[in-house]
Structure 1
Amino acid sequence: MTVGLRLDEAVWGLLHQALQLYRDNPRATDHLRHQLAQLEQPLRIAIAGPWRSGKSTVLNAIMGEEVAPVDGPDGSGVFTWYEDGPQPRATAYSTNQPPQELAVAKSATGMRVDLVGWRAGELRDIVVQWPTRALRQVTLIDTPAITGPDEQGRSPVMDRVLRDADAVLFLTRDGRGTDLRVLESTRDSAVGQAAPVNVILVLSRVDEAGGGRVDALLTARQLARQQYRDPRVNALCVDLAACSGLIGLAGRVLSESDFAALAQLARVSREDLETHLLSADRFVRGELPVPLDPGVRAALLDRLGLAGVRLATTLVRTGCDSRVKLSAELIRRSGLTELRESMSRFFVDRRDTLKARSALAGVEALVRAEPGPGTGELLSAVEQILAGAHEFRELCLLAALRNARLGFDAELAEEARRLVGGDGVGLAIRLGVEHDATVQRLWEAASDAQWRWRDLAEDPLLRLAQRRGAQVVVRSCEGMLAELAEGGR
């Protein structure tokens, strides 16, 4: 919440100021009107990353259905947009033809889109409408593989991701090297420097780490916590999560027949089964001590991977004696629950903030690409909004609290996280009071918190970073009090 002019109001005014300035430039005005329209549309979250980072699998796991990928005719893929709709439908957008509806076949496992007749390089976007609750508040974008930065430090695919998406799940195998350089290239603008709040870094395919051991997922989560403490990493994202999209998806779509086959495998001793899980070929073609058709084994391998089969059979042996129990435990172990919670906390709950950020980035890019009389004032307005936007500071503080680098004790850190919206952005949730609390109760809680955190912000014994963090909390409390006062008029 912004004290004074709200962020969304400031951005709306900026866009209209830019429209007036570029009124004689049709291309620019189309771009600005598009930015205005996007403010009212669902949040656009791109799932990006290098080749074989598991983008489509993570997208399917989030949706709980197998709908991706939709590959382009040249095999390289296109930008595929998944949005809510009354029935499955796909529309192709090309570089030289009008939009064309594509034939869609829905099956028990998802969908297939007919791309017969399209030539390499023709397709630019495919928009898929799919009826699911997962897309009520967001549009998910499956992107082509991102290559490393070129000689100018740019990645063309990442450049388009930043233009088209409000937020990014950036998938990486190890969170180092080229992947970090790609993310660092996203901060070469005023918006990128001032508000690096639209990226969650995801360590993906973590089930394959350490040879696919049963504890690989736990080890990956510990690694994610360690890496997030790296200043180079946490300067580029608001959170770092570890997630096996394959195992998360398996948990969401596991069938009774899948469970029955895994239960059969679980009857084999751990030592005997492990010899068959040394390779995919040995698992599918070897002689198992239990009767299990090679086709069923191949389907399990496709669904779970070797590491997933190893994990699932271990879980069945140790108490997951039904499909429901096994599904829940696979989802929990995969890291998918934590990833979805992070998306809700940093993306969905902050939809208006991220939409405003996209609009600011769009205006800044336009001004830098097409400077002219009056555009300097427009750029100054962008920078002024960035400097005054408390919403961005809240997200940055949440990220700092996430990795404990401020040094607050556990109780203070928990209260700060709640007050700046880490559990949700509603007043009652922020203030930790009952959801039906009276205005008087909300006012007293906000006022008490304001004075408590103001004392911390002025405490000379605290480090500068802690005092600045406390100042953000104070401003959040002031915003809540202003909202309550305005509501009472």
Structure 2
Amino acid sequence: MNNSSLIQQVDGLIRSAATAYAGTPAEASLRTLAVRVRQPLRVAIAGKVKAGKSTLLNALIGEELAATDAGECTRIVTWFQHGESCRVVLQPRQGEAREVRYARPDSRAIQIDLGGARAADVERLVVEWPSTALRNFMLIDTPGIGSVSTDISERAQDFLTPANGRVTPADAVLYLMRYAHREDIRLLEAFHDDDIVQPTPVNAVGVLSRADEIGAGKMDSMASAARVADSYRKSEQVRRLCQTVLPVTGLLAYTGRTLREEEFHGLELLARAPAEELAPTLVSVDRFIKLDCPAEVDAEGRRHLLDRLGMYGLRLGIELIRSGKCGNSAQLAAMLIENSGLRQLVAALGTQFAARAEVLKARSVLQALGSVLRQMPLEGNKKLVAEVERVWAGAHEIAELRLLNSLRQDPAGFTEEEVAEAERLLGSSGIAPARRLGLAPEADQGAIRNAAQEALARWQRRAESPASLRQSVAAAHVLIRTCEGMLGDLVGPTG
């Protein structure tokens, strides 16, 4: 199941197209695509206003880079990518990109000087920052959808679902929703493949953001959020749009990754106070700020802890320290992250996005290349168009994505059990052979070979059954090739 040959074919197509279109207006776009093939996967973080996009981005990176207030730069699509040094580049809608000044007072969010440019005249900002987290992904912070400012909302919509045959610059999307509102569903429906003209769950993960607020910040808030997320995952409407839905409290995750010693000390003082005296102050935000506190933490200090943790994180931190589970800041930081849902999200990014990054990039670039060829046809480029179509139709990795997407719309005559196995074989839980076959991660090659052979025989029988519908047979043949590919990978290296 090696994807390198696919990305190499796509790279070759881009090079051929750039040569064919040399000296034309399309050349610059094609050169950009040639660079895109070699870049990390582009993951957009999208959602309605106040969904917690920038906070989650900061949690994923592990430091505060994206502004979380309503400043001028939050109106602009901002890309965060790994760089050997720190710099910010402004790409205007008209004209050349230029480096701009920035400040980062007290190691807080980057404050970018637009140099007199209006936010409406800026296509994007690119923040280059040395970060391990950004080596595998380029994270794209988008303006809030549903903003009172039509311009801001439309900018986010245009980035994710561009009109006039254009293709979104994102390879995948994390869509943050506080609840599954109609507007959330509508945007996810629009984030689709041109050739399928259907939503593509394989490159979208739903995030039930600010999950702690679902349970009003109570100690069982994340358990409540997990039940809500589970109901969304089972919803046919959401299931056909997202690979999965995960509950995450981005604020708690970010604070866990950046917890300061003085913050641990403040929580420690609160945890030492008599529980019966502290309890009335933890009923609500107002009470915590305004009531006399039995601990030696002043109102300003309490407000700071609330800003950093929220009521759920505050209650959780106090309980973890009071119970003796966390005796220092490092232990508390680890437990805050563990209870935030961040680890599960990072794992999903690995299995859903990173593991098939080459395929997702290849698909995005093929879409963009097809868009260029359609919008700017060139005499004599029929062979190039045919080659693009050949790769698009013949790449098994793309056929797997197409079938996985299709099964989320229509079970193709399969039973529920067959759909579940088919989706797993297609990589819905990860593309490693053990994951595809439903085996333990440590399964040896013998177990993998046996399971793959059994799956191959099963789907061969399904394809040959006289009772199978035509679409069932076509789907079964894709699964047969998947099984054969796994067996080939096992046999190849060992001779």
TM-score normalized by the length of structure 2: 0.81
**Residue 391 (structure 1) shift:** 2.2
Say if 1:80 and 1:141, in contact at 8 Å, map to a contact too: yes
- The one of 340, 343, 349 aligned to 2:346: 340
Match of 2:40 in 1: 42
**Structure 1 CA distance, aligned partners of 2:326 and 2:441?**
38
**Structure 1 CA distance, aligned partners of 2:405 and 2:346?**
16
**Residue 392 (structure 1) shift:** 3.9
Change in Cα spacing, 1:208 to 1:461, as seen in structure 2 (3 Å) is farther
Change in Cα spacing, 1:463 to 1:218, as seen in structure 2 (3 Å) is farther
1:256-281 CA deviation, whole Å, 9 max, x = no partner? 32222223223446565443234434
**Residue 303 (structure 1) shift:** 0.6
Alignment of 1:417-436 (within 5 A): 417=424, 420-421=426-427, 425=431
Say if 2:200 and 2:405, in contact at 8 Å, map to a contact too: no
Match of 1:227 in 2: 232
- The one of 180, 195, 202 aligned to 1:197: 202
Say if 1:90 and 1:104, in contact at 8 Å, map to a contact too: no
**Structure 1 CA distance, aligned partners of 2:200 and 2:110?**
38
Match of 2:29 in 1: 31
- 1:190 partner SS: coil
- 2:174 partner SS: strand
Say if 2:7 and 2:358, in contact at 8 Å, map to a contact too: yes
Match of 1:133 in 2: 132
Residues 1:99 and 2:98 aligned together: yes
Alignment of 1:81-230 (within 5 A): 81-94=79-92, 95-96=94-95, 98-105=97-104, 107=106, 109-115=107-113, 117-121=115-119, 122-147=121-146, 155-161=154-160, 163-187=168-192, 189-190=194-195, 193=198, 195-230=200-235
Match of 2:298 in 1: 293
**Residue 236 (structure 1) shift:** 1.6
Match of 2:363 in 1: 357
**Structure 2 CA distance, aligned partners of 1:337 and 1:402?**
26
1:144-166 CA deviation, whole Å, 9 max, x = no partner? 12248x99xx9542332462221
**Structure 1 CA distance, aligned partners of 2:384 and 2:182?**
36
**Residue 96 (structure 1) shift:** 4.5
The amino acid across from 2:482 in the alignment is S
**Residue 359 (structure 1) shift:** 0.7
- The answer to which of 294-303 and 311-320 deviates more is 311-320
Match of 1:311 in 2: 316
**Residue 45 (structure 1) shift:** 1.1
Q: Where does the alignment leave 5 or more consecutive residues of structure 1 unmatched? A: none
**Residue 294 (structure 1) shift:** 2.0
**Residue 195 (structure 1) shift:** 5.0
Residues 1:244 and 2:260 aligned together: no
Match of 1:474 in 2: 480
Say if 2:429 and 2:435, in contact at 8 Å, map to a contact too: yes
- The one of 63, 66, 72 aligned to 1:65: 63
**Structure 2 CA distance, aligned partners of 1:460 and 1:247?**
55
**Residue 203 (structure 1) shift:** 1.3
- The answer to which of 308-317 and 50-59 deviates more is 308-317
The amino acid across from 1:200 in the alignment is V
Say if 1:70 and 1:112, in contact at 8 Å, map to a contact too: no
Say if 1:197 and 1:392, in contact at 8 Å, map to a contact too: no
- 1:163 partner SS: coil
Change in Cα spacing, 1:362 to 1:116, as seen in structure 2 (3 Å) is closer
**Structure 2 CA distance, aligned partners of 1:476 and 1:76?**
43
The amino acid across from 1:263 in the alignment is E
Say if 2:191 and 2:199, in contact at 8 Å, map to a contact too: no
The amino acid across from 1:32 in the alignment is L
1:208-265 CA deviation, whole Å, 9 max, x = no partner? 1132222121111221121122222122222221211011112222233222222322
**Residue 312 (structure 1) shift:** 2.2
**Structure 1 CA distance, aligned partners of 2:337 and 2:474?**
38
**Residue 14 (structure 1) shift:** 4.0
**Residue 104 (structure 1) shift:** 3.5
The amino acid across from 1:331 in the alignment is I
Say if 1:45 and 1:165, in contact at 8 Å, map to a contact too: yes
Aligned length: 480
Change in Cα spacing, 1:129 to 1:46, as seen in structure 2 (3 Å) is same
Q: Percent identity?
A: 36
The amino acid across from 1:56 in the alignment is S
**Residue 102 (structure 1) shift:** 1.6
**Structure 1 CA distance, aligned partners of 2:407 and 2:280?**
45
Change in Cα spacing, 1:482 to 1:214, as seen in structure 2 (3 Å) is same
Say if 1:450 and 1:478, in contact at 8 Å, map to a contact too: yes
Match of 2:456 in 1: 450
Say if 2:271 and 2:319, in contact at 8 Å, map to a contact too: yes
Match of 2:7 in 1: 8
**Structure 1 CA distance, aligned partners of 2:337 and 2:480?**
38
- The answer to which of 453-462 and 233-242 deviates more is 453-462
TM-score normalized by the length of structure 1: 0.82
**Residue 426 (structure 1) shift:** 5.3
Alignment of 1:250-265 (within 5 A): 250-265=255-270
Say if 2:30 and 2:369, in contact at 8 Å, map to a contact too: yes
Change in Cα spacing, 1:430 to 1:210, as seen in structure 2 (3 Å) is closer
**Residue 31 (structure 1) shift:** 1.1
